[in-house]
């Protein structure tokens, strides 16, 4: 990312002078303000004293709840109505995207009419998000009660508690759908296509100043921790930008155009393949898969069967985000899912047939299926550094903790603060970059030719 002669202030002035862009920015900011206000509304039936005692204990939730809090926009620590954020909808999107290429009938439906296929997928994303939100709410309540060792939210479908439990469940599910609706409003009336990302982005950014200031609470190592964090912030942002901007430009020859009675010469072009096509999805999905056994085990923590009870205790002890096994599995799953998700997205693009349809050809490669196989092999090779990068980002909090502990710096009181230096920053930088690209596209439509970002 670099600046051209165009100043930032001139860029911002043109952006603000455009009535359409200014309206979209104001709408986006207004909706995000509503989201942050709603994030402070607690779910019904909470024992606030027990919740306060739990959240003030630095070892109670560990990095596991810290990561959940990150993805939910900082609402889990308050156990608000929006404590699950838009996470169930994102999970539903991932599930639908993975089911389409696996089930032939769904794939044919999407390929025969792509426009109607997208509408069908969006409809089922909403349908699937509701049960996902309800299951996540139940799991989250059980998980909090289990880790706290006390009843934070009374929840049971017994005769004396079923009304309160149903009210809590419906309120939290409704809060998730409200957050999803706000995100869709941003995509429709604000910055196009960025609604859900900006909802997550708002929560992360809102917590950053508080996280940085809290580092100074350590009288012995506060300044050192703050300095290390700032260095990590700068270095991580730089590496994220480099990786996110990484492309492999495959040469492509496009056929010439007929101009009257003459045929122009073939045109040389390139097909850019991204190093990190999967974005932040592997981090979210890897975390979801690791959360699943912990959430499920919370239902069996009081089982009368000794084996089931011990298995549930093992999952909650070893996969709660604080142990070495958790981080090893997280790294492996992020790398593996990066390759898997990239393959799914790449196959959906169907570059071989699309290039063949317009008469284009990669030099030395036959059109159609051979082109698709060649591009798939190239994409797999360049995905390797992107996958390892995402895996490193995922386990950065663990690695930082080991390094600081080796130097004798106690990080127990700030164990979750480094989450935003890795996974959170990946989300923040990606959203900022995509938002600026959308705004630049809007500015060019309004006749503004200069650009702030050099790609």
Tens of pLDDT, residue by residue over 32-56, are: 889 888 888 888 888 777 777 776 6
pLDDT at 330: 86
Residue ranges for the chain with pLDDT beneath 50:
1-6, 60, 62, 413-416, 419, 453-455
d(CA 202, CA 215) in angstroms, rounded, equals 21
Residue with tokens 């990946």: 426
Q: Kindly give, in sequence order, each residue whose CB lies less than 8 Å from that of residue 331, ignoring residues fewer than 6 positions away.
A: 391, 392, 394, 395
d(CA 308, CA 314) in angstroms, rounded, equals 10
pLDDT at 247: 86
pLDDT at 451: 53
pLDDT at 416: 46
pLDDT at 74: 61
pLDDT at 325: 83
Domains and CATH numbers, the chain: 8-445 (1.10.3370.10)
pLDDT at 178: 92
């Amino acid at each position: 990312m670099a600046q051209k002669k165009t100043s930032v202030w001139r860029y911002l002035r043109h952006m603000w002078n455009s009535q359409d862009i200014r309206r979209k920015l104001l709408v986006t900011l207004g909706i995000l303000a509503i989201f942050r206000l709603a994030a402070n509304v607690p779910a019904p039936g909470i024992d606030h004293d027990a919740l306060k005692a739990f959240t003030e204990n630095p070892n109670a939730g560990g990095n596991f709840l810290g990561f959940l809090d990150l993805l939910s926009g900082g609402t889990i620590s308050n156990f608000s109505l929006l404590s699950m954020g838009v996470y169930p909808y994102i999970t539903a999107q991932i599930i639908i995207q993975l089911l389409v290429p696996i089930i032939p009938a769904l794939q044919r439906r999407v390929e025969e009419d792509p426009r109607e296929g997208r509408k069908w997928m969006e409809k089922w994303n909403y349908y699937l998000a509701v049960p996902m939100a309800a299951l996540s709410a139940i799991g989250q309540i059980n998980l909090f009660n289990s880790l706290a060792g006390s009843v934070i939210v009374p929840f049971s479908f017994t005769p004396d508690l079923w009304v309160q439990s149903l009210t809590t469940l419906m309120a939290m599910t409704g809060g998730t759908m409200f957050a999803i609706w706000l995100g869709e409003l941003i995509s429709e009336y604000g910055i196009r296509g960025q609604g859900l990302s900006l909802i997550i982005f708002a929560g992360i950014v809102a917590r950053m100043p508080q996280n940085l200031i809290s580092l100074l609470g350590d009288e012995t190592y506060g300044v050192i921790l703050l300095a290390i964090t700032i260095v990590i912030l700068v270095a991580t942002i730089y590496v994220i930008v480099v990786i996110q901007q990484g492309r492999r430009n495959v040469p492509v020859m496009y056929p010439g155009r007929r101009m009257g009675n003459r045929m122009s010469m073939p045109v040389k072009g390139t097909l850019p393949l991204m190093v990190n096509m999967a974005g932040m999805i592997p981090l979210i999905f890897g975390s979801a898969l690791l959360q699943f056994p912990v959430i499920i085990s919370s239902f069996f923590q009081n089982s009368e069967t000794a084996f089931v009870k011990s298995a549930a205790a093992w999952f909650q002890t070893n996969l709660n985000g604080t142990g070495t096994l958790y981080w090893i599995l997280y790294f492996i799953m992020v790398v593996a899912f990066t390759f898997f998700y990239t393959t799914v997205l790449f196959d959906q693009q169907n570059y071989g047939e699309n290039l063949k349809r317009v008469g284009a050809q990669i030099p030395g490669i036959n059109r159609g299926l051979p082109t698709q196989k060649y591009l798939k092999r190239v994409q797999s090779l360049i995905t390797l550094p992107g996958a390892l990068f995402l895996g490193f980002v995922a386990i950065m909090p663990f690695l930082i903790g080991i390094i600081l502990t080796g130097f004798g710096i106690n990080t127990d009181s700030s164990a979750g603060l480094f989450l935003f230096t890795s996974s959170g920053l990946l989300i923040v930088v990606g959203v900022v970059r995509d938002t600026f690209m959308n705004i630049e596209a809007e500015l060019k439509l309004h006749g503004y030719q200069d650009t702030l970002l050099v790609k």
